[in-house]
Amino acid sequence: MSELTTAARPYARAVFEMAKESEGLATWSASLNFMGAIASHADVAALLETPRMAKQAGADALIQFCDGKLDDKAQNLVKTLAENNRIKLLPEISILFEVLKDEEEGRVEATVKTAKKLTKAEEKSIADALKKRLGRDVKLKISIDKALLGGVIIQAGDLVIDGSIQGRLKQMTAAMAG
Amino acid sequence: MQLNPTEISDLIKKRIDSFEMDAEARTEGTIVSIMDGIVRIHGLSDVMSGEMIEFSNGAYGLALNLERDSVGAVVLGDYKSITEGDIAKCTGRILDVPVGPEMLGRVVDSLGAPIDGKGPVDTQLMGSIERQAPGVIDRKSVDEPMETGIKALDSMVPVGRGQRELIIGDRQTGKTAVAIDAIINQKGNDVKCIYVAVGQKASSVAGVVRKLEEFGAMDYTIVVAANASDPASMQYLAPYAGCAMGEYFRDRGENALIIYDDLTKQAWAYRQVSLLLRRPPGREAYPGDVFFLHSRLLERSARVNADYVERMTNGEVKGKTGSLTAYPIIETQEGDVSAFVATNVISITDGQIFLDTDLFNSGNRPAIDAGLSVSRVGGSAQTKIIKKLGGGIRLDLAQYRELAAFSQFASDLDEGTRKQLERGERVTALMNQAQYSPLSTGELAFTLFSANEGFLDDLEVKKVNAFEDALLAHLRANQTDFLDKINQTGDYNDSIADEMRSILENFKSTSTW
């Protein structure tokens, strides 16, 4: 996973800078997302792994799968990736591109796990508090996990803020066991 | 029903009292791979080098490789229950161990957790495992002796407090025995001892602890043990943990002695960790920083001045210097002192005690090679009397060994050579000493004096040890005042020499052995 990220970073950065210059961040985001989804599909991934699909053949196949939805530059990206045998990096590139885009737009994505469904007001107060702490706009991604028993766990990048009952019980267990 | 020691109501009450409910903010990563005690973690972007990482099974890890998108860490302890995909948390703490006088008398592992079954250790302070050694300004020159009670050592390779003296030799040449004798001799000297056992059989460590207990030495000793069955990470860390415990005493203006038994095995453990972390191998497959591994450890053994002690204790302890003396041990293969780790440690330390298999097999205990053993700073730390009486012994013995080798082929020898040989034989016999029987300064002075002044010349070589035993018994029974005087002052002048001579003459004319 980490090795893929390392390999994908220069591509993502190059695409991002080109997109920024040509003011096509949104288009690129959509097409990378699309290509990433296709490349990570199990059947496609297996097909691209076969030796006959190496280099140019693989790139052509992938471009055909996308069914004319890719513009010239996106096609060039796929060809460049194929040239270096890196087509399977597409999902990673897409993720990294999103991170760079969020950073550029002063936004950050945070996942919030809760035990119960949050009210709109609660969501807003979480978003506001996070904005204060991280100094950026926060895009919340909310999921429900009954195992937490109560409270929320917020995750933004590597930072985790654990305010759940489950987490407190764990803390208490550790404190009691000494 | 069995109760846990942590289930005492008072303890529970205190814990409930002190427990704070707080949302916990932390940095998390995911374990990508785990193999042979090495984990790779994705995420953890804020982790520090050497930081403790907590795994979901409660075990800790140590972050060693900080790479662009991953962190390489070693697991300290059991890694069987850690799986790929588990969460790893930053703790924000650089690895530290409990330190303090409460640790004395205990056997602990590399993290300072007791393994002697005597319950928890109630320490107040933690000491960082990796610390910068005291700088030039903070140091004081070595000028107090660290007596081992071993005749051959104290007279030929004297060690001062704050010195690093290597004990090197093949397996089974008595390296550990020398170190244990040194610990036993510190009884009543107010020197705290730390014995670090790395990669040894658990039975050997248990044997050492039993011996120390038998001689009442555990009261002032901490044993840090990372046995052969412990993970390589623990074996690599044990010397640093022991050093942190020793530094506590040094920084409080006390004297401490630390024994690393042995650094060869620690280098092996570090080599294992490094190779698994995919660091490039160098000579003998050791990583590039194996010299620094030992140099930074041994630099922390030092004599520090009173200003430093005052600063470290916030003015609590004034006008006292502190010291940490180190006896690192290196095991050689077939007497090869030019192996990589051996040459490294020889160049770092302030001298070495070389134990030789041939000498050991010909019955010399301790089997010290007088020619190869040196102490670079110890001479300035010797007491006056030992310095005066033991001055020429090392060279005499070294020359005797050379001469003895040559004279085997010679049919007739001149008077001078024959005398030198006879003298050498007697001094060699005199330097023999049984284990666990350290001598005080005064007793050592008497044995050296009897050799210097020719009291042994008319004895048969095999009677020398019997003579010495009888002499020591006589001194301990009849001359305690005089011995105490020498032990306390360490002075030597004509009147003391005259008194020693008359005691010896008197003893020789009236006693049998």
Helices B263-276 and B340-348: crossing angle in degrees, nearest 10, is: 120
3-state secondary structure of B140: coil
pLDDT tens string A21-34: 888 888 888 888 88
Say how far apart CA B454 and CA B469 lie, in whole Å. Answer: 17
Which residue type sits at B318?
A: K
pLDDT at B58 over 70: yes
Helices B494-510 and B441-452: crossing angle in degrees, nearest 10, is: 80
Pair B80, B58: CB distance under 8 Å = no
Could you tell me the two tokens for A17?
């800078």
pTM for the predicted model, two decimal places: 0.88
Contact B42 A2 (CB under 8 A): yes
**Closest to A24 measured CA to CA, from A56, A67, A72:** A72
Q: Does B29 touch chain A (CB under 8 A)?
A: yes
Q: Which residues pair with B87 in a beta bridge?
A: B30
Q: Which residues pair with A162 in a beta bridge?
A: A153, B24
Q: How far is CA B472 from the centre of its chain?
A: 28
Contact A177 B67 (CB under 8 A): no
- Range in B73-87, B116-130, B385-399 the model is least confident about: B385-399
Contact A178 B6 (CB under 8 A): yes
pLDDT at B12 over 80: no
Q: Best residue in A6, A132, A158, A162 to probe B by mutation, most B CBs within 10 Å?
A: A158
Per CB-CB distance under 8 Å, the chain A contacts of B29 are 158
Q: How far away is chain B from the Cα of A120, in angstroms, using its nearest Cα?
A: 22
pLDDT tens string A126-173: 888 888 888 888 888 889 988 888 888 998 888 888 888 888 888 888
3-state secondary structure of B263: helix
Q: Does B67 touch chain A (CB under 8 A)?
A: yes
pLDDT tens string A136-148: 888 888 899 888 8
Pair B83, B34: CB distance under 8 Å = yes
Say how far apart CA A122 and CA B149 lie, in whole Å. Answer: 74
Per CB-CB distance under 8 Å, the chain B contacts of A171 are 19, 24
Could you tell me the two tokens for B279?
């660091």
Where residue B7 falls among pLDDT bands split at 50, 70, 90? low
**Maximal CA-CA distance, chain A:** 63
**Closest to B387 measured CA to CA, from B347, B441, B424:** B441
Say how far apart CA B23 and CA B90 lie, in whole Å. Answer: 16
In eight-state DSSP terms, residue A118 is P
Q: Does B122 touch chain A (CB under 8 A)?
A: no
Question: Exposure pattern of B99-117 as b/e (b: 16+ CB <10 Å)?
Answer: bbeebbbbbbbbbbeebee
pLDDT at B128 over 70: yes
Pair B333, B148: CB distance under 8 Å = no
Q: How far away is chain B from the Cα of A69, in angstroms, using its nearest Cα?
A: 32
pLDDT, position B262:
92
Mean pLDDT across the stretch B2-19? 70
pLDDT at B424 over 80: yes
Q: Which residues pair with B125 in a beta bridge?
A: B99
pLDDT at B4 over 70: no
Contact B120 A178 (CB under 8 A): yes
Mean pLDDT across the stretch B403-430? 84
pLDDT, position B281:
96
Per CB-CB distance under 8 Å, the chain A contacts of B30 are 1
Per CB-CB distance under 8 Å, the chain B contacts of A3 are 69-70
**Closest to B268 measured CA to CA, from B224, B222, B231, B225:** B231
In chain B, the percentage of residues whose pLDDT exceeds 70 is: 97
pLDDT, position B196:
98
pLDDT, position B96:
93
Say how far apart CA B32 and CA B42 lie, in whole Å. Answer: 6
pLDDT, position B105:
96
pLDDT, position B162:
95
- Range in B191-200, B350-359, B411-420, B468-477 the model is least confident about: B411-420
Q: Which residue has the tokens 């000579």?
A: B283
Contact A162 B24 (CB under 8 A): yes
Q: How far is CA B225 from the centre of its chain?
A: 13
Pairwise pLDDT comparison (A53 vs B80), residue with the higher score: B80
Q: Does B17 touch chain A (CB under 8 A)?
A: no
Torsional sign, CA B37, A5, B279, B60:
negative
Q: Does B44 touch chain A (CB under 8 A)?
A: yes
Pairing status of strand B24-35 against strand B303-304: unpaired
pLDDT, position B375:
92
Pair A152, B16: CB distance under 8 Å = no
pLDDT, position B163:
95
Pair B221, B213: CB distance under 8 Å = no
pLDDT at B69 over 80: yes
Mean pLDDT, chain B, integer: 92
Helix (H), strand (E) at residue B393: helix B393-407
Pairing status of strand B51-55 against strand B60-66: antiparallel
Say how far apart CA B500 and CA B471 lie, in whole Å. Answer: 12
Task: Report how far apart, in Å, the C-alpha atoms of B208 and of each of B179, B183, B223, B267, B499 are.
Answer: 10, 11, 9, 22, 40
Pair B266, B260: CB distance under 8 Å = yes
Say how far apart CA B63 and CA B74 lie, in whole Å. Answer: 7
Where residue B285 falls among pLDDT bands split at 50, 70, 90? very high
Chain A CA closest to residue B18: A175
pLDDT at B228 over 80: yes
> All domains of chain A, ordered by start, with CATH?
3-102 (1.10.520.20), 107-177 (3.30.2320.30)
Could you tell me the two tokens for B340?
């990589």
pLDDT tens string B22-48: 777 888 999 999 999 999 999 888 899
pLDDT tens string A12-58: 999 999 988 888 888 888 888 888 888 888 888 888 888 877 778 88
Give burial (CB, 10 Å; 0-12/13-18/19+) of B33: middle
pLDDT at B123 over 60: yes
Contact A2 B6 (CB under 8 A): no
Q: Best residue in B7, B42, B90 to probe A by mutation, most A CBs within 10 Å?
A: B42
Q: How far is CA B448 from the centre of its chain?
A: 26
Residue B376 designated active-site: yes
Say how far apart CA B7 and CA B78 lie, in whole Å. Answer: 25
Could you tell me the two tokens for B341?
């780790």
* Beta strand segments in B165-307, E: 166-169, 191-198, 221-226, 255-261, 303-304
pLDDT at A61 over 90: no
pLDDT at B324 over 90: yes
Rounded to the nearest 10°, the torsion over CA B432, B433, B434, B440 is 170
Per CB-CB distance under 8 Å, the chain A contacts of B21 are 168
Q: How far away is chain B from the Cα of A106, in angstroms, using its nearest Cα?
A: 19
DSSP for A45-99? HHHHHSGGGSHHHHHHHHHHHTTT-S-HHHHHHHHHHHHTT-GGGHHHHHHHHHH
Could you tell me the two tokens for B95?
């690895």
The residue count for chain A = 178
DSSP for B1-45? -PPPGGG-HHHHHHHHHH-----EEEEEEEEEEEETTEEEEEE-T
Give the active site residue among B279, B296, B365, B376. Answer: B376
ipTM over 0.85: no
The residue count for chain B = 513
Where residue A108 falls among pLDDT bands split at 50, 70, 90? confident
pLDDT tens string B131-168: 999 999 999 999 999 999 999 999 999 999 999 999 99
Q: How far is CA B302 from the centre of its chain?
A: 13
pLDDT at B21 over 70: no
Q: Does A168 touch chain B (CB under 8 A)?
A: yes
Mean pLDDT across the stretch A67-81? 84
Could you tell me the two tokens for B134?
């005291």
Residue window 6-35, chain A: list those with CB within 8 Å of chain B. 6, 9
**Closest to B249 measured CA to CA, from B276, B228, B221:** B221
Contact A2 B40 (CB under 8 A): yes
Question: Exposure pattern of B136-175 as b/e (b: 16+ CB <10 Å)?
Answer: eebbbebebbbbbbbbbbbbbbbbbbbbbbbbbbbeebbb
pLDDT, position A2:
67
Rounded to the nearest 10°, the torsion over CA B341, B344, B347, B350 is -60
pLDDT, position B211:
95
Mean pLDDT across the stretch B234-239? 96
Size of interface A-B (CB pairs under 8 A): 65
**Closest to B436 measured CA to CA, from B141, B167, B180, B133:** B180
